[in-house]
Amino acid sequence: MTRNTLILILVGGWMTLLSPSLAYATAYALLIGIQDYSEVQDTNSPKGSRQVQVTTTDYSLNGPRHDIALISKTLQEVLLIPKDNIAELLDKEATHTGIENAFKALSKKVQKNDFVYIHYSGHGSLTLDGNGDEKSGKDQTWVSYGARTGLRTGLNGIDDYDILDDEIDDWLQPIFNKTERVVVVLDSCHSGTATKGATIRKIPQDTRTHPLANKSYRSAWANIQGIRIGATKDDINAYEKSFHGKHYGIFTWFWADALEKHRQSDWITIFSIVYQRTRDKAYQQQPHLDHPRSDDSLLYEGILYYIDLPRGLFPILVTSDPFRKQGKRVVNLAAGASSGLTKGSRYWLFGNQNRKPRPILELTKVWAYKSEGRIIQGPFQKGDLVIEKQRAYDTSLPVMIGLQDAGAYKAVAETVSQLSGYTLTSNPNQAVLKIHISATHLQVTDNNDQLIHPFLRIPLANQKKALDLLRYNLAIYARAHFVKTLRSPEILEENAPQLRFRLLKLDRKNHCETIKEPSTYEQLEKILLQEGNNSPCVKFPDELTFQLWPYFTDQVTTAQPGDKVALLLDNNQGVRHYYYYLVMVEPNGRVNTVELGKVKQKSRVIADQLMLSLSSNEVWKFITTTEEINIANYRQNGFQETVPESQSSEPPSKTKGGRWYVRTYDVHVSDR
């Protein structure tokens, strides 16, 4: 059965996550961590040959043991699961049969309505599907300890083989027969490519026929109502990195952190936070939510803000209880201008806390790293999360509407005039945007009458739907324009830290005469730092060869589709550390964000996100701060062809204060 690489089952009445009064009789946990993969045997057959070649490779990881220790501590302190009820399998204990026996022991202990948490940290992979239940023809697997090493123990030598996803389903069935309160977290993956500074939790496909491949299984998920969440999508990698001197799975690190910091929240809120933090740290990793029924009662208003809502909004933490200031009730928020917040913007309570009326606040003061908001309605308390309801701007984009005698003119004019960030003009020389109205379509163009995007050519067959889509996509355009024009506070501009970056061009035809072959990313980093404006060729650990392009010497560069970018963060002249972030604005209105990392004073480093694909003309905004921020507040998806369900779209303002800086680079992608 095909599934995401991390699965979270949420059921009916236990959406509230971390209250000590959780409505279960007893709680149990099974935690599995494998990092010793030192003698894995890869098997492959050269093209045109029947001969099988076997090579031994060390695929060992650094983080699973730390993951399990962290999750065990979190479960005890936050979910109040007794230590005696937490079973841990590490390396040699986590063979195929060892894990199967642990599931059987767990299913015997579990009683009706108990709570069960299962966590796997280790490699994931694939093997050939033999029972026909996979459209791809491949089963997803956990790579248990000893698999593919010749460890011929267990029934039929099963310990030499991965654990099939079908087997996991089968082992879960007895547990689900007793309780639906089950959380299964898999921090692993099975495909993808490498990035610098991060280890991938995947091993190549096992080409052997699995002993259980042809067995038929009943899916444990078939009758479960709820939601499944993936630490990464099926075809995307999961990574581990160093945090505070120890390696952890990126998802596991942020998962445990969110459980601790937001213990009064629900599972969906927790995941929304972890999703954004994981994407910022590992741009290519994509935690995933899949809801099997569109009418699922768990999909309350706002549940998909964290990922599926095109605005891409991110919850912000309320850091104080309400207090009186100049006769008004106000609260403090843990984000400010450096995270894209703007004075006058309105936020409402995130999640389904059942407070009536739904609490709303308006930002009255915005500093560099925090904000203050006046309560408009409803009760707030410290620890709440709020989501953007309406954005405010201190400047407006002039819009000119053509064909004033058209029947739709009045309705279009009213729609635009009600939007934050826009103003109507009749002067074509002042207009930034033009809206052309014909008998069949609305069309939004720039001042040169060039269509902004195909989704901004909107059919008028249903005027209400057309106006809703116009309103929605103009809100997307306004935010993208805000990010494109974002600048450092003028008072700080002269002290802005230096930033340099250079390109890596993939050498598809191997034109390089001499190739440097670093064996580690540290050696690669040394080459990048020392070569200056030279353009050597470098073979990466993933066997791809790149030619290094010179540093950017101005604020415009041209690249080709598919080129990769290496980012060199230069704080060599700095007198203190800085945090570096990248915000990328695409022509379709999408805004992506990447957390590049911290750079100490008097140093230069290669960003954690070593390779970023260039796919279209983009504007890159580098934001440098003296304090760590949540860069995800800038993110949004792009223009839409239809208005998504559950959305509130109002377009952001420039604010004073704070030591943070912005650098802009236009990246033009051309096939030439």
Digit-coded pLDDT (tens) for 61-107: 899 999 999 999 999 888 888 999 999 999 999 999 999 999 999 99
Highest mean pLDDT among 207-216, 498-507, 628-637: 628-637
Are 199 and 62 in contact, with CB atoms under 8 Å apart?
A: yes
Instruction: Categorize the per-residue pLDDT at 226 as very low, low, confident or very high, splitting at 50, 70 and 90.
Output: very low
Per-residue confidence (pLDDT) for residue 188, from 0 to 100:
82
- 374 part of a folded domain: yes
CA distances (Å), origin 215, targets 133, 136, 153, 164, 167: 10, 17, 20, 11, 10
SS3 track for 359-398: CEEEEEEECCCCEEEEEEECCCCCCCEEEEEECCCCCCEE
- 297 part of a folded domain: no
- 574 part of a folded domain: yes
Q: Outline where 204-327 has alpha helix (H).
A: 250-261, 267-281
- 103-107, 159-163, 495-499, range with the lowest pLDDT: 495-499
Report helix, strand or coil for 72.
helix
Per-residue confidence (pLDDT) for residue 605, from 0 to 100:
72
Q: Is the pLDDT of residue 178 over 90?
A: no
Are 2 and 217 in contact, with CB atoms under 8 Å apart?
A: no
Q: Is the pLDDT of residue 565 over 70?
A: no
- 47-51, 107-111, 442-446, range with the lowest pLDDT: 47-51
480 with 496, same domain: the answer is: no
DSSP 113-145: T-EEEEEEES-EEEEE-SSS--TTSEEEEE--T
Contacts of 148 by beta carbon, 8 Å cutoff, 6+ apart: 40, 41, 42, 160, 161, 162, 203, 206
- 23-32, 278-287, 474-483, range with the lowest pLDDT: 278-287
- From 254, 275, 290, give the residue that closes a domain: 290
Per-residue confidence (pLDDT) for residue 215, from 0 to 100:
73
125 with 253, same domain: the answer is: yes
14 with 145, same domain: the answer is: yes
Are 187 and 231 in contact, with CB atoms under 8 Å apart?
A: yes
- 459 part of a folded domain: yes
- Our separate counts of H helices and E strands in the chain read 8, 40
Per-residue confidence (pLDDT) for residue 101, from 0 to 100:
96
Q: Is the pLDDT of residue 562 over 90?
A: no
Distance CA 169, CA 624 (A): 46
Query: Percent of the chain at pLDDT above 90?
Result: 28
Per-residue confidence (pLDDT) for residue 295, from 0 to 100:
29
- 421 part of a folded domain: yes
Nearest to 186 by CA among 141, 218, 133: 141
Report helix, strand or coil for 255.
helix
* pLDDT tens-digit map of 584-634: 898 999 888 877 778 888 777 766 555 566 666 788 888 888 888 878 788
645 DSSP 8-state letter: S
Instruction: Categorize the per-residue pLDDT at 7 as very low, low, confident or very high, splitting at 50, 70 and 90.
Output: very low
**What is the pLDDT averaged over residues 216-224?**
52
- From 454, 484, 514, give the residue that closes a domain: 484
How many Å separate Cα 158 from the centre of its chain? 36
356 with 381, same domain: the answer is: yes
40 DSSP 8-state letter: E
Per-residue confidence (pLDDT) for residue 356, from 0 to 100:
83
Provide the terminal-to-terminal Cα distance of the chain, rounded to the nearest Å: 44
* pLDDT tens-digit map of 536-552: 677 765 556 666 665 55
CA distances (Å), origin 20, targets 75, 77, 153, 300: 12, 10, 43, 24
Per-residue confidence (pLDDT) for residue 624, from 0 to 100:
85
241 with 327, same domain: the answer is: no
Alpha-carbon dihedral 296, 301, 302, 304, rounded to 10 degrees: 20
Per-residue confidence (pLDDT) for residue 131, from 0 to 100:
61
Per-residue confidence (pLDDT) for residue 458, from 0 to 100:
95
596 with 468, same domain: the answer is: no
Per-residue confidence (pLDDT) for residue 199, from 0 to 100:
58
pTM, two decimal places: 0.62
Better-predicted residue by pLDDT, 657 or 300: 657
Distance CA 108, CA 9 (A): 20
Per-residue confidence (pLDDT) for residue 672, from 0 to 100:
45
Burial letters 312-329, b for 16+ CB under 10 A, else e: bbbbbbbebebeeeeeee
Per-residue confidence (pLDDT) for residue 223, from 0 to 100:
46
- 122 part of a folded domain: yes
634 with 558, same domain: the answer is: yes
- 27-31, 196-200, 376-380, range with the lowest pLDDT: 196-200
Better-predicted residue by pLDDT, 226 or 618: 618
Nearest to 552 by CA among 565, 539, 538: 565
Distance CA 300, CA 309 (A): 13
Are 357 and 419 in contact, with CB atoms under 8 Å apart?
A: no
92 with 140, same domain: the answer is: yes
**What is the pLDDT averaged over residues 130-136?**
58
323 with 204, same domain: the answer is: no
142 with 202, same domain: the answer is: yes
**Number of domains comprising the chain:** 4
- 2 part of a folded domain: no
Q: Is the pLDDT of residue 219 over 70?
A: no
* pLDDT tens-digit map of 419-456: 999 999 999 999 999 999 988 899 999 999 999 999 99
Q: What is the CATH number of the domain that holds 320?
A: 2.40.30.230
* Residue whose tokens read 């925090």: 370
Query: Percent of the chain at pLDDT above 70?
Result: 64
- The most distant pair of C-alpha atoms in the chain lies apart, rounded to whole Å, by 83
Find out whether the peptide bond into 379 is cis, omega within 30 degrees of 0. Answer: no
Per-residue confidence (pLDDT) for residue 11, from 0 to 100:
28
As a whole number, the mean pLDDT across the chain is 75
- 92 part of a folded domain: yes
Q: Is the pLDDT of residue 22 over 50?
A: no
119 with 203, same domain: the answer is: yes
Are 640 and 469 in contact, with CB atoms under 8 Å apart?
A: yes
* pLDDT tens-digit map of 245-272: 899 999 999 999 988 877 666 666 677 7
Are 274 and 589 in contact, with CB atoms under 8 Å apart?
A: no
173 with 282, same domain: the answer is: yes
Are 482 and 654 in contact, with CB atoms under 8 Å apart?
A: no
Per-residue confidence (pLDDT) for residue 191, from 0 to 100:
32
What count of residues does the chain have? 672
Domain residue limits at 425: 397-484
Nearest to 65 by CA among 119, 114, 102: 119
Q: Is the pLDDT of residue 120 over 60?
A: yes
Element spanning 525, H or E: helix 521-530
- From 274, 290, 306, give the residue that closes a domain: 290
* pLDDT tens-digit map of 624-638: 888 888 787 888 888
Q: In this structure, what token pair is assigned to residue 214?
A: 């042809």
Better-predicted residue by pLDDT, 320 or 165: 320
**What is the pLDDT averaged over residues 221-236?**
56
Better-predicted residue by pLDDT, 601 or 565: 601
Q: What is the CATH number of the domain that holds 244?
A: 3.40.50.1460
**585-588 contact pairs (CB < 8 A, 24+):** 585/480, 585/483, 585/484, 585/618, 585/619, 585/620, 585/621, 586/615, 586/616, 586/617, 586/618, 586/638, 587/453, 587/616, 587/617, 587/618, 588/453, 588/455, 588/616, 588/638, 588/639
Per-residue confidence (pLDDT) for residue 59, from 0 to 100:
82
